[in-house]
Amino acid sequence: MTTREEAARLDAADELAVFRDRFVPITDPGVVAYLDGNSLGRPLRATADRLRDVVTQEWGSRLIRSWEERWLELPGQLGDELGRVALGAAPGQTIVADSTSVCLYKALRAAVALRPGRDEIVTDTANFPTDRFLVESVAAELGHTVRWIETGDVGVADVAAVTGDRTAAVVLSHVDYRSAAIADLAAITRVVHERGGLAVWDLCHSVGSIPVELDAAGADFAVGCTYKFLNAGPGAPAFLYVSSRHHETFGQPLTGWMGAADTFGMAEHYVPAPGIRRALSGTPPVLGMAGVQEGVALLAEAGIERVRAKAVALGRWVLELADAWLVPLGFTVASPRDDARRGGHVTLRHPDAERLSRVLIENGVLIDFRRPDGIRIGLSPLTTSFAEVRAAMDRIRELAG
């Protein structure tokens, strides 16, 4: 069942198909398919309008009064909304700020400081570069040791094998950026806690794609991007979640005035604000937050459960087409075939993937090359159609054949 008619049937049955019109149309006629929304989600029409309002009204007319009237509250307000819609996080535990890299640094330093006397940080060798680099630099900064898990598909047993009474924190991605393998966030968090450590989760490839239940799982810290599945825009700010269990005691190293108890008191020394607000450092990126607001609002309308169901169906469609057309040409599937274990993208491997990726992009099939030999097919349920996926797979077959 790989026909154009089958793609049309799947699109006709798709409850989320109506949301495609809410995005800025791709006017470049050279684009056959956009399968990179997990790196940079497409812009919403509403974001363009919202940005215009922010510039002309909030900034242009209300001028500096907008800080008091609205902007200073945005990091917490948007964090609460994101927590409700996508993270399974009760209000008061999430802020929108900085980049994922900066939020991860803060979260990891905070976690490690909550476990004095323990001197090991755990992560995996296949984790995203920024995560590995920050784990290494925090370890170097504090004289800690990194314990590496040697896999891109981290299970409970892997974590159990390297954690113990020296473990301060474990930093893992919920969905692996290359293979799309989903880690068992709740079970791994439980093991980390049994060993006395704290769990720091990177949700970049899960937020807005699969349901996350941070509170229910007992997660300690979490960070993630908004410019991928949340479509907030290039360089839009990240989010940082700190469980309320740690609000009395956690501190973070970038002690700027926005995280201080009395921001405009111009105090002589830093006194942390109560609760999650102390996770802030500097002035919030108001323009970038406009996209976050619209992206989260659209997700709330669509519902994360429906988004996940379509991501699974799109993934299955990629696998079906790959098995029929590409496996005979020497491709292999690098993502889990079990729907329950696969996130929102599918990675195919091919010995000539690097050159082929360049050719595909030149031919309007916008995928991602992932070293050493992966072609990553990103599936964004609010914008990707089954026909678009089929057109892309057809081009891959033609160009690789």
Q: Which residues are designated catalytic?
A: 128, 202, 227-228, 376
SS3 content of the chain, % helix, strand, coil (to 5): 45, 15, 40
The closest alpha carbon to 42, from 51, 33, 30, 52, belongs to 33
The closest alpha carbon to 329, from 299, 312, 303, 350, belongs to 350
Q: Where does residue 332 fall: left (phi above 0), alpha (psi -120 to 50 degrees), or beta otherwise? A: beta
Smallest gap, in angstroms, from Cβ of residue 223 to ligand PLP?
8
Tokens of 249: 């005691």
H/E stretch holding 201 reads strand 198-202
Distance CA 4, CA 79 (A): 41
Residue 123 or 173 with smaller CB distance to ligand PLP: 173
Q: How many CA atoms lie within 13 A of 104 on its CB side?
A: 25
Which 3 state secondary structure label does DSSP give 396? helix
Smallest gap, in angstroms, from Cβ of residue 376 to ligand PLP?
11
Distance CA 9, CA 172 (A): 38
E-assigned strands of 359-399? Answer: 365-366, 368-370, 374-378
Smallest gap, in angstroms, from Cβ of residue 177 to ligand PLP?
4
Residue 274 or 372 with smaller CB distance to ligand PLP: 372
Residue 120 or 202 with smaller CB distance to ligand PLP: 202
Residue 147 or 370 with smaller CB distance to ligand PLP: 370
Q: Position 344: which residue type? A: G
Q: How many CA atoms lie within 13 A of 55 on its CB side?
A: 8
For the chain, count helices (H), then strands (E).
13, 13
Which 3 state secondary structure label does DSSP give 290? helix
Q: Are 319 and 87 in contact (CB under 8 A)?
A: no
Per CB under 6 A, residues contacting ligand PLP are 99-101, 128, 130-131, 173, 177, 202, 204-205, 225, 238
Residue 128 or 331 with smaller CB distance to ligand PLP: 128
Question: Could you please report the per-residue DSSP string of 36-77?
Answer: -TTTSPPPBHHHHHHHHHIIIIIITTTTTHHHHHTGGGHHHH
Distance CA 13, CA 241 (A): 36
Residue 203 or 333 with smaller CB distance to ligand PLP: 203
Smallest gap, in angstroms, from Cβ of residue 130 to ligand PLP?
5
Distance CA 398, CA 401 (A): 5
Distance CA 253, CA 110 (A): 8
Residue 93 or 100 with smaller CB distance to ligand PLP: 100
Residue 128 or 386 with smaller CB distance to ligand PLP: 128
